[in-house]
Each structure stands twice: as C-alpha cells, then as structure tokens.
C-alpha cells in the first residue's frame, strides 16, 4: 500500500518547471480560482484552465513511457485523446458534456494534432525545435490520415442528421427499418405510434366538447352525411391546434365516417401521408360510440306544464386506437 | 446554438409529457436536458440517440472503399507503369478525397431540399423504397463523371504535393510522339496516358460497386421471399 502511494507521489512530483505536471497543477489551480470568482473573470480563468489541461495532457501523452503504452499496432493514439479534450473544451457544453459539434470536430482536430509532430525538426545547433516542411513520405501520411479522419467525422455527422430527422418526424420511428441499407435498429421493440394516437385523442376531446351534453336532435343533425362532410375538417383543424408543434403535423390527415348499420358509431381515421415502410401507406382508427343519455343531477323546479321526460342528450364514448392498417386500394371519399 | 428548431420544439414536448420533469434547462451551446425533481439529467434524451445507428452505411462504405482502392491500384499500376506502393497511395488518396467531397456536397445540399424531396430521401434511407428510379440512375451517372474528374485532378495535385518529378524517359517518349516525320513515332498506345488510365480505373471500381449492390439486393430479396 505504501509502495503504491510512493510510486504515485514520485510520478506526480514535478521534476522541473518545464514538465507536464506543472501544467496539470496550473489547470487544477485555475479551476479552483474560477470557482471562487464570478463572471466575466470566471470565464477567462476557466478557459485558461482548459488550455492548461490540454497542454498538460499533450505533454503527458508524448512522454516516452506513456507513448509506448499508448501505441497499438504502430498507431499512437495520443493525439485522439488530446483531440477529445480539446474538442470538449472548444465545442462542449458548460459542464463539459459533449455536443454533436464536439463529436464531429474530434477526428479532424486529432488528425491535425497527429501531424504537428511532422512539422517540427530538432535543430542540433540551437537546441530548440524549429518549423520545417515535412518530408514527402510524411506528407502522404498526413494527407491519408486527414482524409480518413474526415470520413469518420462525416459518419458522425450522418448519425446526428438521422437523429434530427427521427426527432422531426417521430412517427417514422414506429415503423420497420429492417430493409434499410443504411441504418440498424438496436432495440426493435414496437414503439407506439405517438403521432397518430395524439391526433386521435385530441380529436376525441374536440368531439366531446361538440357533442357531449347537446340535445339529441342537434347531435343527429351533426352526424348526418351532409353536415359531417363540413364538420370533420373543422374538427380536424381543432385537433391539429392542440397537437404539439412538429413538422410532421401536416402529414397526418383526419377523416371520419359513420359506420353503416349503427346508431351511431363514428370512426375517426388518422391517415399517415409521409414516408413509411408500407408502400401503400397506413391509417389508424378510433371508434366512438355516440348514443343518447339522460341528464343527471337534481331536477329543476317542478313546472306542471313541462313534459314528463327529461331532455335526451348526446354522450360520446371512444375506444382505444387501433393498430395501423394498410390503406385499401380504392380511394376513400 | 447547434440545435435545429424542430429539435427544440420536440424536446419541449418530450419534457412537458414526462411526469417528473419540471422545466427545460438550456445549457451553453449544448443540447437541452430534461431535469427531474432531483436535478439529475434524465437519460430519456441521451439514450434516445443510440438506438438507430448508421452501422450498415459505415460497413458498406468501408467495403466499397477497400474494393475500389484494391482494383484501382491494380489498374493504375498496369497502365501508368508505376510501382505498387505509389499506385496504392494514388488510389487511396483519390478515393478518400472523392468520398469526402461527396459527403460534403450531401451535407450542404440536404438543408436546401424541399419537403417533398426530403421525404423521398427519408423513405430511401430508412425503408429502401424509391419512387423515382430515373433520378437514382441520373445521380449515379453524374457521380461517375464527377468522381472521374476529382480523381484526375487529385492525382495531379498529389504529385505536386509529393514533389514527384516526371520520369525522364516518359517525357522523351511523349515529345517523340509529336516529332512527326523526323522523330521515331512511338505508338499512341505505348505512351502512358493518364486520363485514360484514370477513366478505366474509375469504370472498373464503379462496376465492382454496382455488382456488390446488385448482389446485396438479390440476397435481400431471396431472404425476404423465403
């Protein structure tokens, strides 16, 4: 136990002013100072702290012992570690969490760090490193390394682009990706079709406000074919207003029809018109049973002249939304 | 901010629907995080980023790149009379360069697409369905020509960058070609013709890639039907 602590202490003790331990300690010191002060000084000191951390880790990874440990198959991965920290600093969030931009910039920055070594030549006379143009072999290596890292960053960018699309059109996520040549679903659980279900629920609410508690004659008139064709678009507009703002809202179409031979079952249909694994598209339905009910509650003052029965009012009771069904070939009016 | 407007509004929706969240916190330059009552970031949004990954695209691209580099280096070695190492360097650099330029053009063009075209692109990427085969064939043709031009220019720049001097003997043969009656006429086919070599290399690599795509389609169809 004591030997381990001794070894750690020996490793961390700075051998001189110009060593990586100095920079790491400077960085820790800056973090402490930044915690005490407040902005704008805090921002400057925090950035200095990051800068010292980057320089310290850069120096540390180029230490010969560490460098040998970090070399796999002839490829020294130190620049990628330094690059990750630099990208977290430059593009990361305030508490150090990575952002899409930090992922996308990480490979090219690391490639640039990897190639800086080839621009430096030790000068035997002055004992300091000087800038030099790299040799042709090194130039080819730099070009290949830079290009391959740019391709890796393009792959990261593709991933974030696909995520943005899935967020903009959430309904697509509930579809089947097995035929895709580009993506793989890691967790193919059946995610529910949230877009359609939200629309149908909003439509149910609008329907209830329109028909619940209204006189039965009005309800029947509302459900008649001529009125229905005019009322359904208004119902759809109301339901769309209640939906969360999303670019896929105009890809859902709400229709309704009264099922034949029923008194009365209104079938609300949400038709998806966007990209889908089924070439013919699909729709989700919700069946609402509209029937007569009696008004509950204490009767009003007894009026000898009024009719004996209480007024008939409409009630609306809807079932759960169905599974997606493919649209049949003939067009529905 | 590095967030698109749609992501912002849907995050607000997701956070509003979560029963335990209380507000949306906007971090400096970062994604929004839902914070629950105990101030721990909710993993709902972070985990949501990792269940659909473009792994198939990455694998296919690696396969196409390796095939193209191998075939092109053979063709260039044959027709340009350069060594094995140089031909592999040329082939690797030009293929990587054209791939990177292709991706950049895609990422520049994608936000400019109209909604209808983006929806076609989405259905092609996620569901392998194309409603417009002529468009695909036209794009393939245009990309063949563009890749050929990029590769030709790329080899010239690479030679410039690496400081490769032209072979003295090749120069002599090239000038002898134009000396007409006075010089020995070298046959046209003997002189290494760079554009022709690059054209052949490009054609062979594109044919190989098309063959691989066709094999994959056939494979998927037989698997799907069985």
Mean pLDDT per 10-residue interval, chain A, length 333 residues:
77 66 79 77 82 85 78 81 88 76 90 85 67 81 93 94 86 82 78 77 82 78 79 82 76 82 79 82 82 61 48 75 72 46
Segments forming the whole domain that contains residue A238: 194-293+311-326
Residue A332, domain member (yes or no)? no
- Closest residue on chain B to A279 (Cα): B129
Residue A331, domain member (yes or no)? no
Nearest chain B Cα distance for residue A104, angstroms: 12
- Do A115 and A201 lie in a common domain? no
Nearest chain B Cα distance for residue A19, angstroms: 33
Using alpha carbons, select from A79, A63, A68 the residue that is nearest to residue A15: A63
CA distance A84 to A264: 64
- Do A231 and A121 lie in a common domain? no
Q: Which member of B12, B125, B127 has the closest CB to residue A277?
A: B127
Nearest chain A Cα distance for residue B179, angstroms: 35
* Interchain pair B127, A177: CB under 8 A: yes
* Interchain pair B57, A182: CB under 8 A: yes
Q: Which member of A147, A154, A185 has the closest CB to residue B93?
A: A147
Residue A68, domain member (yes or no)? yes
- Do A201 and A163 lie in a common domain? no
CA distance B191 to B183: 15
Q: What's the total number of domains in chain A? A: 2
- Do A22 and A89 lie in a common domain? yes
- Do A52 and A86 lie in a common domain? yes
- Do A214 and A96 lie in a common domain? no
| CB < 8 Å from A in window 175-214 of B | none
Asked whether the beta carbons of A222 and A228 are under 8 A apart, the reply is: yes
Residue A54, domain member (yes or no)? yes
Tell me the domain boundaries of chain B: 5-50, 55-225
- Do A141 and A18 lie in a common domain? yes
Instruction: State residue A225's pLDDT score.
Output: 78
Q: Which member of A147, A184, A279 has the closest CB to residue B100?
A: A147
Residue A319, domain member (yes or no)? yes
| CB < 8 Å from A in window 59-98 of B | 60-61, 89, 92-93, 96-97
Q: In terms of DSSP H, where are the helices of chain B?
A: 5-17, 43-47, 55-80, 84-109, 115-127, 133-162, 168-177, 194-225
Instruction: For the beta carbon of residue B23, count every other beta carbon within 10 angstroms.
Output: 9
Instruction: State residue A224's pLDDT score.
Output: 79
- Do A212 and A160 lie in a common domain? no
- Do A149 and A75 lie in a common domain? yes
Confidence bin at B21 (pLDDT 50/70/90):
very low
Nearest chain B Cα distance for residue A123, angstroms: 24
Using alpha carbons, select from B124, B155, B143, B134 the residue that is nearest to residue B206: B143
- The three-point CA angle A232-A236-A240 to 5° equals 175
Residue A80, domain member (yes or no)? yes
- The three-point CA angle B160-B162-B166 to 5° equals 60
Q: Which member of A157, A182, A183 has the closest CB to residue B107?
A: A157
Confirm or reject contact between B123 and chain A (CB < 8 A): yes
- Do A25 and A112 lie in a common domain? yes
Q: What is the mean pLDDT of residues B80-87?
A: 86
Instruction: State residue B32's pLDDT score.
Output: 43
Using alpha carbons, select from A148, A153, A178, A177 the residue that is nearest to residue A165: A177
Give A298's DSSP letter.
-
ipTM, two decimals, is 0.78
Residue A83, domain member (yes or no)? yes
- Do A202 and A267 lie in a common domain? yes
Task: Provide, as residue numbers in chain B, all residues whose Cβ is less than 8 Å from the Cβ of A154.
Answer: 100, 103-104, 107
Residue A210, domain member (yes or no)? yes
Burial class (CB in 10 A: 0-12, 13-18, 19+), A219: buried
* Interchain pair A184, B103: CB under 8 A: no
* Interchain pair B103, A172: CB under 8 A: no
Q: What is the mean pLDDT of chain B?
A: 76
């Amino acid at each position: 136990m004591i030997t381990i602590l001794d070894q750690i202490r020996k490793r961390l003790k700075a051998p001189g002013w110009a060593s990586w331990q100095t920079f790491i300690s400077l960085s820790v010191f800056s973090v402490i100072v930044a915690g005490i002060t407040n902005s704008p000084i805090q921002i400057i000191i925090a950035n200095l702290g990051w800068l010292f951390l980057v320089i310290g880790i850069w120096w540390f990874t180029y230490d010969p012992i560490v460098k040998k440990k970090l070399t796999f198959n002839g490829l020294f991965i130190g620049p990628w570690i330094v690059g990750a920290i630099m990208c977290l600093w430059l593009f990361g969030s305030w508490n150090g969490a990575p952002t899409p931009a930090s992922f996308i910039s990480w490979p090219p920055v690391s490639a640039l760090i990897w190639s800086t070594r080839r621009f430096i030549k030790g000068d035997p006379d002055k004992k300091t490193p000087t800038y030099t143009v790299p040799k042709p072999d090194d130039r080819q290596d730099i070009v290949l390394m830079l290009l391959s890292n740019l391709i890796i960053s393009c792959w990261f960018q593709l991933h974030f682009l696909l995520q943005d699309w899935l967020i903009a059109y959430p309904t697509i996520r509930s579809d089947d990706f097995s035929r895709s040549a580009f993506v793989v679903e890691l967790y193919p659980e059946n995610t529910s079709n949230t877009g359609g279900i939200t629309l149908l629920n909003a439509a149910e609410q609008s329907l209830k406000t329109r028909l619940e508690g209204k006189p039965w004659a009005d309800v029947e008139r509302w459900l008649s074919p001529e009125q229905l064709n005019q009322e359904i678009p208004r119902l759809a507009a109301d339901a769309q207003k209640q939906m969360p703002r999303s670019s896929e809202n105009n890809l859902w179409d709400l229709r309704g029809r009264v099922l034949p031979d029923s008194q009365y079952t209104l079938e609300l249909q949400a038709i998806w018109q966007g990209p889908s694994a089924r070439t013919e598209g699909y729709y989700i339905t919700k069946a609402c049973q509209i029937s007569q009910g009696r008004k509950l509650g204490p009767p009003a003052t007894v009026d000898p002249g009024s009719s004996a029965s209480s007024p008939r009012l409409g009630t609306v009771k809807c079932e759960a939304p169905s599974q997606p069904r493919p649209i049949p070939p003939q067009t529905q009016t | 901010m590095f967030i698109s407007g749609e992501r912002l509004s849907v995050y607000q929706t997701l956070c509003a629907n979560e029963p335990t969240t209380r507000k949306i916190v906007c971090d400096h330059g970062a994604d929004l995080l839902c914070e629950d009552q105990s101030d721990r970031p909710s993993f709902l949004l972070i985990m949501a980023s990792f269940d659909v990954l473009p792994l198939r695209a990455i694998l296919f691209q690696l396969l196409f790149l390796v095939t193209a580099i191998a075939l092109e280096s053979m063709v260039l070695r044959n027709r340009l009379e350069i060594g094995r190492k140089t031909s592999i360097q040329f082939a690797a650099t030009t293929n990587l360069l054209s791939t990177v330029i292709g991706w950049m053009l895609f990422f520049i063009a994608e936000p400019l697409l109209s909604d209808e075209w983006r929806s076609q692109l989405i259905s092609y990427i996620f569901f392998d369905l194309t409603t417009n085969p002529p468009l695909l064939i036209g794009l393939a043709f245009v990309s063949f020509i563009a890749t050929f031009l990029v590769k030709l220019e790329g080899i010239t720049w690479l030679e410039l960058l690496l400081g490769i001097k032209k072979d003295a003997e090749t120069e002599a043969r090239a000038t002898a070609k134009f000396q007409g009656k006075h010089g020995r006429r070298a046959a046209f086919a003997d002189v290494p013709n760079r554009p022709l070599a690059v054209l052949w290399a490009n054609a062979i690599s594109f044919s190989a890639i098309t063959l691989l795509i066709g094999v994959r389609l056939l494979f998927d169809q037989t698997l799907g039907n069985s």
